[in-house]
A = this chain, B = another copy of it.
Amino acid sequence: MNTLINDIEVIKTDQTTINNVDFDNLQFGHVFSDHMLECDYKDGKWHAPKVVPYGPITLDPSAKIFHYGQSIFEGMKAYKDEDGNILLFRPLDNFKRLNISAKRLAIPELPEAYFMEGLKALLKVDSDWIPKKEGCSLYIRPFIFATGKGFHASPADEYKFLISTAPSGAYFAGKLKVLIEEKYSRSANGGVGFAKAGGNYAGQFYPTQLAIEKGYQQVIWTDDNTHEFIEEAGAMNIFIRIKDTLITAPISDRILDGITRKSIIELAKAEGLNVEVKKITVSEVVAAAKDGSLKEMFGAGTAAVISPIAGFGYKDEDFELPELENTYAGFLKKRITDIQTNKCEDPFGWRYKV
């Protein structure tokens, strides 16, 4: 059955799998909704996207995605409010960042309407897949990869842009124990760390596995030159509260310009908290842990929103963070998720009704 939604052609599945899904016990990014948005780049341009049944992709073995890592992605969430409205959070920022990543990875930039109208059409078709349960959401994964062929290390001439969605529960269970990295790193000066490039994540897996073997869940990334500056927490930005000041590293070509991070900065400032965007060293954090002025650390990203850190390891020493009654992490997480799910006013204009 072909229909049009927001000018986007929709080909509906005749076999929904929604009845197989246990919406009360959702993992993260594990089951996929009935449809996906599909859009191809060939003959020098992006062709109109379509909503199609979620299903397998067929590629030539010489497709460049398999060889040269030409792939980028985004991560977003959709919520449903009490009235059944579908809500997104700052979706245009994801679109813009996708194109920033595209440029750095020599992938042709995508037209805004293909992204926004395509996404909206997809969400309308799969609206029943958006979980209503507290703490759950429909995780949205836009991604682009090289389908063009050839064993030649040069940009592909064909690409595929897809959006797939997954009803999801929490990303992490509980508080994190993290390891401050002294040897490995996730990005180079002049590299692709600021882009959501597939290759950045594969490179993190092995160091993270080593950290997991030592009893931690995530790595805190430091700069690749001195390992003295704190940059990110796994695939999240990082915030550190010393006394009553909330500190986060400035973005750079090594650090992703996280939408959660910048929302937290704005929100915290509006709430009268003291926020400083500045480079922060491992030595400062260790000293603050030792003298008791280190109050909180947390990761910030779309998947986990805010993920409190319970303690960290550094050079064979373990440091625990205090258990506070009222945390900035808890306060900010509630404020952001309330805005996201339409439980309060949105003075910033971040909420986006589909």
Contacts and interface: CB of A to CB of B under 8 A. Distances in A.
Interface in A48-80: 54-62, 65-71, 73, 75
A183 interface: yes
Interface in A126-169: 139, 141, 143, 145-146, 150-155, 162, 164, 166, 168
Contacts of A105: 202-203, 205-206
Given A139-B151, A151-B29, A186 B191 contact: yes
A70 B151 contact: no
Contacts of A191: 184-188, 191, 203, 224
A46 B69 CA distance: 23
Residue among A54, A66, A73, A204 with the highest chain B CB neighbour number at 10 A? A66
B58 A198 contact: no
A187 B29 CA distance: 30
A197 interface: yes
A110 interface: no
B153 A201 contact: yes
A69 B197 CA distance: 8
Nearest to A32: B62
B30 A205 contact: no
Contact of A198 (B29, B67, B151, B162): B67
Contacts of A29: 62, 150-152
B54 A57 contact: no
A119 interface: no
Interface string A287-323: 0000000000000000000000000000000000000
Given A188-B224, A189-B185, A58 B60 contact: no
Size class of the contact patch on chain A: 35 or more
Nearest to A28: B152
25 contacts: A28-B151, A57-B59, A58-B58, A58-B59, A59-B59, A66-B143, A67-B143, A67-B201, A68-B198, A69-B71, A69-B200, A70-B205, A105-B205, A105-B206, A146-B202, A153-B205, A153-B234, A154-B208, A155-B205, A183-B190, A184-B191, A185-B191, A192-B199, A199-B202, A224-B224
Nearest to A198: B69
> How many chain copies does the complex carry?
2
Given A30-B152, A66-B71, A155-B205, 9 more contacts: A57-B61, A61-B162, A67-B71, A69-B201, A69-B202, A104-B206, A183-B190, A185-B189, A199-B199
Contacts of A154: 205, 208
Contacts of A36: 61
A327 to B, nearest CB: 25
Contacts of A30: 150-152
Contacts of A200: 69, 199
A353 interface: no
A209 B60 contact: no
